[in-house]
Structure 1
Amino acid sequence: MNSFTLTQAEAVQTAVADHTSHDGAAYLGGGTNLIDLMKYNVSRPTHLTSLGHLPLGQIEALPDGGLRLGALATNSATAYDEQVQARYPLLSQTILAGATPQLRNMATDGGNLLQRTRCYYFYDLATPCNKREPGTGCSAINGMNRVCGVLGTSDSCIATHPSDMCVALAALEAVVRVQGPEGERTIKFEDFHRLPGDKPELDNTLNPGELVTAIDLPRRGFEKNFTYLKLRDRASYAFALVSVAVGLEMEGNTIKTARFALGGVAHKPWRDQEAEKMLEGQPASPDLFRQVAAKVFAEAKGYGPNSFKIELGRRAIVRALKQATEMSQELDSTAFLNSNP
């Protein structure tokens, strides 16, 4: 780990000013990802702006009926918050499917959005990686890519975003609030994370110096028909090979509104709004779910070892939609696969 200086910020404005006044600075929240990256020398900030004293840990109701998650609210506090559990159980379920209790007690909601890929080559300094060192190449394309993406990939990068929480936030159509040198702004969740394109080193659409201050949830929380299906190699402390977060509004057996997102398959939580529209106004049925799944993966591209994710993803969508329509909550966050599907 390289040496660095540190400032303890006491207000959002001073945090932004401190960050922008230092070259090579990084914001430090819970540190559950950043400190690991620093230990591996993947990230080498020369200055840290600590956010621990900022008043950004509240979870509070919004005038429009939504809910605001402070960026420094911990994952545990969010998952067990009474309002979240009652109105946004999909979000609570996805958070509890990730990491360990110890990590969830430290990890912040804002930091969850900003965690970086778990691609093997990103962490291996001895191998080329365009995300870690632009222009060096992508070792995963022809290498050990079992955990990598099959949707929205590019010749520069096939890494995936590792978050569980973000998959639910995508399905819920959350809004991210940020503050930077130019003031405050909001970013639709679907626009927050980037596909790799030819700049895979950029994970999101934040401008230099911008700090995530809150995540706003809309009024609609899909508290009656929802599910989070996470398929992974073991039942705990493992990242998703494929995950699906589903929120539905039902009228009898008819799907009135549908939102779903996938994790483990792309550089960002993956939504297909055209596929969602295929569900709306239709009676729930396995045939419909299979058509939707086929639409989502119609342009998927496998890279040898990870090609199994395409069929796995199709089946996961069908299963998750069936569970959400029937509300057969079977704690599928514990579902796991053999190591060699």
Structure 2
Amino acid sequence: MKTLKLRIKDKHSEMLNQMASEVNFVWNYVNDLCFQHLKRKGEFLSAYDVAKYTKGTSKECDLHSQTVQAVTEELVTRRKQFKKAKLKWRVSNKKSARRSLGWIPFKKVAIKYADGYIQYGKHQFKLWDSYGLSKYNIKTGSFVEDARGRWYVCFVVEAAAVEKSTATQAIGIDLGLKDIATCSDGTVISNPKFYRHYEQKLGIAQRARNKKRVRALHAKIANSRKDHLHKASSMLVKKNALIIVGDLSAKKLVKTTMAKSVLDTGFSALKTMLKYKCENAGVLFEEVNEAYTTQICSCCRKISSSSPKGRAGLGIREWQCMECGTFHENRDINSALNILALGHERLAVGISVL
């Protein structure tokens, strides 16, 4: 299964905004209904129980009955996931800082596809079909709005069989900030620093309170970063049969003074892309504990007195092991080699591979 995202033409935005407002109304109604029932009866309502309370809603709200059902199912699922008696309200007011981005879920029976447009109920929406939807078997989907007010339709489809990778190489990957990723074979994924590149323009737009320009710049930064990471991850998956990555945590690093640089690299997104692309291509993916991999010599597997240690050693980019005399011209490649060795040890179930 995979998701296809297609842009809907802007002339339909007003209609979709109205429908999204009705979806928010249904969500808030069901959310409050379930909460009040829990207070009175001490039990949760299921999606099946809620159906009798939402009967006839589709006609009043100009929504397909499958959309109302999908909203209810999503709310019940999220309530269980987050273990909450009541979820947040969906806000439709465009002037509110807490406005929810538009969302209109649907199921397969709610839509029909023809060349260049889709039909939802009695409404037709033209789109740019860059995938050729007629080739896919659509399962479910939703209309979604981005921060710039543009609308897209997302389809969950059955993915065609992908040719499995025939590569035989194995690599370890050291994630970082100077370069997004350094591989054990010497491959380096550079860090273009997209946010830093547009930071001055973004500051000018923010001081001018030009919200439209700010949103456009943020979208450009995010799209550029995503494009770079997709190309890099696809290249690594095609070239290798085994990819081993260190467990560097972006969640922890964003709490430090390096937060802006961490978010600008997007190495957490790269790790996610590698994982699902490896699954799709039949490539083995492993994540290992990278503690001390920078300090350990990849040749003798020992920590010497000359090893770069802690924050004080961040500036040391090359060093010589005092135990075996090996000179490491790039500390990140040394770390990647150690990550590769750790991955082999895990695969060998404890049998050390040097």
TM range (shorter): under 0.3
TM-score normalised by length of structure 1: 0.23
Larger radius of gyration: 2
Q: Which has the higher helix share?
A: 2
TM-score normalised by length of structure 2: 0.22
